[in-house]
Amino acid sequence: MFDIKNIREDFPALFELKDGRPIIYCDSACMSLKPKPVIQALTDYYTKFTACAGRSPHMFSRETTKRYEAAREKTAKFINAKNSSEVVWTKNTTEALNLGSMILKLDGTETIIATSESHNSNIVKWMFLENAGKIKLKVLDAGETGICSLDTFSAAIDECQPGKFLVSLAQVSNVTAGMIDVPAIAKIIHEKEGIFQLDAAQSFPHLSVDVQKLDVDLMAVSMHKACGPSGIGFLWGKYHILERLHPMILGGETVSDVKIPNTIKMLPPPAKFEAGLQNYGGVIAAGAAIDYLDSIGMDNVHQHEVRLSKVMLEGLEEFGDKISYLGPTRAEDRAALAAIDLKGINPHEVAILLDDMYNIFLRSGYHCTHAFHHSLDLDQGTLRPSWYLYNTEEEVKVFIEALGEIIDTLS
């Protein structure tokens, strides 16, 4: 049973007042608020057993190790991974995508396929590698919907050499809110022995994500968008791919032995990727976030967000041609966010007024999709409300009303 009142009570930040009045938080595509069990897990780590995992024999260290690995187990189970060794902790999706790219030989013969609506964390590195002559890059035009057809993927993949390409796509776009058909694309990629890396930054927090059903090879997630603490994410990968993946950072805890002259024995995944002391508190609290989402049920989260989307889209339709938003028009086909083009009104100015006058917190700008905004001539950027499990239909209506008042004043 999805009880929004109870859920809201789990998130203390929702009850912060600004100038003595309540706030509306709709910037969850950037950073989600944190429920009490996650805050408690962090506090427990820092007050009761602060230590490093896997190294020292004392009680604090044993407790840290136990909870650190338990978080990995929970995460693996949550995404239906075959084994917890397939989960590698990173600091965010960006780091996970960069780590995933270490599968490449970088000898100039391989192709990376991405799409034009990609987040900078899933395009800048590829542009950088192309400029250095290390890969060939194909950026497919996702158009205004942000979704390429299966024929477009097939045609692009047909031009790649078998086994010499990596396709790196977002399951859900952070600007168009559109969702791609991951298993259908995976089939096309695997028929030609390519590697499919999924950017799940905007899907994992909102949908049930099952890596077996999706049939991808690598998947990147930010836990801070999914009720987890800031600065923690993970890369999931099929184990045989993680075995072939080169570590990005080397150091303590990645090796079982080192001798001079130059002899290194690397540890197997995931240890070979987790060099140096880790964000133990963050990982343990990420485990609490997984427990929290699991207790609510991802299908319930998704259904609630579809309801919020419906209210938002109906409200936005009322503006007629004063505004437009990117992506699909059916709430069922999109995530609960919208990048809104204010047709000449500066979105930053509107975001500041929403904060100043209405206590509504959201984001304006390019949302780290500069290339996509430029491709659509949206050079001023867009205004982006993004809703999550703790938002109410009433809050969405208040946002729509406030936006209407500001547009009337500024136009």
**Residues belonging to the active site:** 368
CA angle centred on 304, ends 118 and 361, rounded to 5°: 60
What is the footprint of ligand PLP within residues 311-350 (CB under 6 A)? Answer: none
199, 215, 274, 341: residue in contact with ligand PLP (rule CB under 6 A): 199
Q: Which stretch binds ligand PLP (CB under 6 A): 91-99, 132-140, 352-360, 371-379?
A: 91-99
Q: Which stretch binds ligand PLP (CB under 6 A): 115-123, 309-317, 352-360, 371-379?
A: 115-123
Does 235 interact with ligand PLP (rule: CB under 6 A)? no
What is the footprint of ligand PLP within residues 29-48 (CB under 6 A)? Answer: 29-30
Helix, strand or coil, per DSSP, at residue 266: strand
Report in angstroms how near the CB of residue 232 gets to ligand PLP at its nearest.
Answer: 9
Does 119 interact with ligand PLP (rule: CB under 6 A)? yes
Nearest CB to ligand PLP, comparing residues 94 and 116: 94
What is the footprint of ligand PLP within residues 132-191 (CB under 6 A)? Answer: 170, 174
Does 115 interact with ligand PLP (rule: CB under 6 A)? no
Q: Which stretch binds ligand PLP (CB under 6 A): 117-125, 235-243, 259-267, 294-302?
A: 117-125
CB 319: neighbour CB atoms within 10 A?
17
Nearest CB to ligand PLP, comparing residues 61 and 171: 171
Nearest CB to ligand PLP, comparing residues 177 and 402: 177
What is the footprint of ligand PLP within residues 345-384 (CB under 6 A)? Answer: 368
Report in angstroms how near the CB of residue 327 gets to ligand PLP at its nearest.
Answer: 13
Does 28 interact with ligand PLP (rule: CB under 6 A)? no
Does 392 interact with ligand PLP (rule: CB under 6 A)? no
Judge whether 306 and 368 are in contact, CB under 8 Å.
no
Residue by residue, DSSP assigns 268-334 as PTTGGG--SS--HHHHHHHHHHHHHHHHH-HHHHHHHHHHHHHHHHHHHHTTGGG-EE-S-SSGGGB
Contacts with ligand PLP: how many residues (CB under 6 A)? 15
Does 201 interact with ligand PLP (rule: CB under 6 A)? yes
Q: Which residues have C-beta within 8 Å of that of residue 193, sequence separation ≥ 6?
A: 162, 163
Report in angstroms how near the CB of residue 329 gets to ligand PLP at its nearest.
Answer: 21
CA angle centred on 208, ends 206 and 214, rounded to 5°: 120
Judge whether 387 and 308 are in contact, CB under 8 Å.
yes
Element (H, E) at 16: none
Nearest CB to ligand PLP, comparing residues 226 and 350: 226
Does 61 interact with ligand PLP (rule: CB under 6 A)? no
- Kindly report the backbone phi and psi dihedral angles of residue 59, in degrees, each rounded to the nearest multiple of 5, phi listed first: -60, -45
Q: Which stretch binds ligand PLP (CB under 6 A): 11-19, 114-122, 270-278, 315-323?
A: 114-122
168, 176, 222, 278: residue in contact with ligand PLP (rule CB under 6 A): 222
Element (H, E) at 144: none
Nearest CB to ligand PLP, comparing residues 197 and 222: 222
User: What is the Cα–Cα distance from 206 to 368, expressed in whole angstroms?
Assistant: 20
User: What is the Cα–Cα distance from 332 to 303, expressed in whole angstroms?
Assistant: 9
Q: Which stretch binds ligand PLP (CB under 6 A): 45-53, 195-203, 262-270, 335-343?
A: 195-203
CA angle centred on 58, ends 54 and 59, rounded to 5°: 95
DSSP 254: S
User: What is the Cα–Cα distance from 318 to 330, expressed in whole angstroms?
Assistant: 15
Judge whether 181 and 333 are in contact, CB under 8 Å.
no
**Closest Cα to residue 16, out of 359, 409, 370?**
359
Contact set with ligand PLP (CB under 6 A): 29-30, 92-94, 119, 121-122, 170, 174, 199, 201-202, 222, 368
